[in-house]
Each structure stands twice: as C-alpha cells, then as structure tokens.
Amino acid sequence: MTSRKLLLVGIDGLRIDDALADGSAPSLASLIAHGRLHQVEMEVPTISGPGWSSILTGTRHEVHGVFDNTFSGNRLDRTVDLLTRAARADPARSTFAASSWPPLLDPRGPGPVVATRHDDQRVGRHRLVVRDGETYGYREADGDVAAFARLAIRAAGPDASFVYLGEVDEAGHLYGGRSPEYTRASERVDGLLGGILHEVERRAQDHAEDWLVGVTTDHGHLDEGGHGGDDAVLTRSFLALRRYGPEEIAPVAAEAVRPGEIRPEEIAALLLAHLD
C-alpha cells in the first residue's frame, strides 16, 4: 500500500488574487493548475495569532481563545493541533514543523499553537525548527525554515508537516500590499515554496509515496499595509491543494475535498482525511 503523507505550507499575509494575477507566484500557480483551489473566509480579527490558531487547531476563535498576537488568555491547551491529531491517530507517525514566527512553535513563547510533545521528540517522531523573523528579519529566517523543510522531506519524509513563511507579511506591514517590495517578497517566498514542492515531488516518486500538499494564508493586507479588520482583501484566504505521487495517483483525492468555500477551522480535518 502506498504510504500517505501531508504537508501544509502557510504563507503569512499573502493576497492570493494579486499573486496569481501579477505572476509573482508561479510555483503556487502551478500547484493550483495541477490541483484545486478553494476559497477560505477568515474570521475577524484578521490577525496572525487567531488566524493560524484556527487553521492549525481546527477550532474557532471562541474555542482556542486567541484574539491577538499576545495570545493572552488563550485556551490552546483545550485544543489539539493538526500534527498532534495525526500522531494520536497513529502513534507510529512522524511529524515535522518549521516556522519563522516563534509563537506558533516555541514552547517558551506565548503559545505554542503546535504542541511540543517532548516524548515524541526524544524518540525522533516529532521535530520542531524555530527561527525568529521578528528579531532577525524574515528573509533570512524563511530561508532557514525552507532549507530545513527541504532536508526533512528529502531525508525523512515526515507523515505530517507544517511549514510557515513570514516575509510577505513583513513586507506588507513595511511597504503596503500593493508595493513593489511586497511583490518581490511574494516572489522570493514563492521561490522557497517551489524548492519545497520539488523535494515533495522527488520524494513521492522515489519512494512511491502519496503526498497531499496544501498552501494557505491567514489574512491579506490593505493597499497601505496592515490588517485586522473585515475588509474583503483581509478576510479573503484560500486553500490550494495538490496531490503528488506515482502516476496512478489521482491529482486530488475527490473524497478529501468539496467544491466551494471552506472555513479555516475545516482545513485541518480536510488534510487529515488524506491519511486515513
């Protein structure tokens, strides 16, 4: 039986419509062309903390209790993240996460959203890579995260993975969502995505594995920069899906998706269905 794997890549602050229209995201466009694109409507406030918490835990704001980036008063201990759900369903599964925004993974931070799982780390079933883009800049931090992701996929092929890239959001805050700097950041991050997808495709072929890859974002950016409100450009997100594997593998598993719009808290379950 072909081994099934899943990977979720999060590109923070990406305006999907612009990225596809202006050609700044060819890797993402190719994934969509060979897969499927779903609309996602993010819940207000359109901020990274609550957005990624909903996507990764499969719960709404009132459940996980994250309403801003301080994570103050959060109830994440009452939720189960995507990778932990995969591991609980089958303790033999391996998981991997890498992020350039520490709160998602760092156990010393205000979260984390993805559980640390010390016991699984000790036996090599769970690996976390954290880089600090807030302090050292996201271009360098994203580069490290992508490099570790490529290595993990190539060498280990984790059963369930999450990779976060933050430079696009940083550029949106500094220069605005319609700026040349924002476009160039989108191009660079899309290049990192392309390198990760290349490793997935090669791994799937070399090891006859069946990978489902999802790409999403937590919010958009205003033309002048910033987010948090209910403007359509801020609440508009997406889930792009593509399946990689031997030639007999269907492009996207029909039973794992449905047409139309999905909610952010539905993404985790949709991806996990691929492992069943």
pLDDT of residue 117: 98
pLDDT of residue 224: 97
The total number of structural domains that make up the chain: 1
**For residue 186, what are the CA distances in angstroms to 12, 22, 27?**
10, 10, 11
**For residue 270, what are the CA distances in angstroms to 13, 215, 246?**
22, 13, 22
Query: What's 109's domain CATH number?
Result: 3.40.720.10
Residue type, 76: L
pLDDT of residue 261: 86
**How buried is residue 187: exposed, middle or buried, by Cβ count under 10 Å (0-12/13-18/19+)?**
middle
**For residue 44, what are the CA distances in angstroms to 50, 101, 248?**
9, 20, 41
Low-confidence ranges of the chain (pLDDT < 50): 253-257
Structure tokens at 179: 């700026």
Range(s) of the domain holding residue 185 = 4-275
SS3 for 127?
strand
Dist CA 152 CA 94 (whole Å): 11
pLDDT of residue 249: 60
pLDDT of residue 254: 43
| Beta-strand runs (E) in 100-226 | 126-130, 160-165, 210-216
- Are 169 and 48 contacting, i.e. CB atoms less than 8 angstroms apart? yes
Q: What pTM was computed for the model?
A: 0.96
Per-state percent for the chain, helix, strand, coil, to nearest 5: 45, 15, 40
Structure tokens at 53: 């918490």
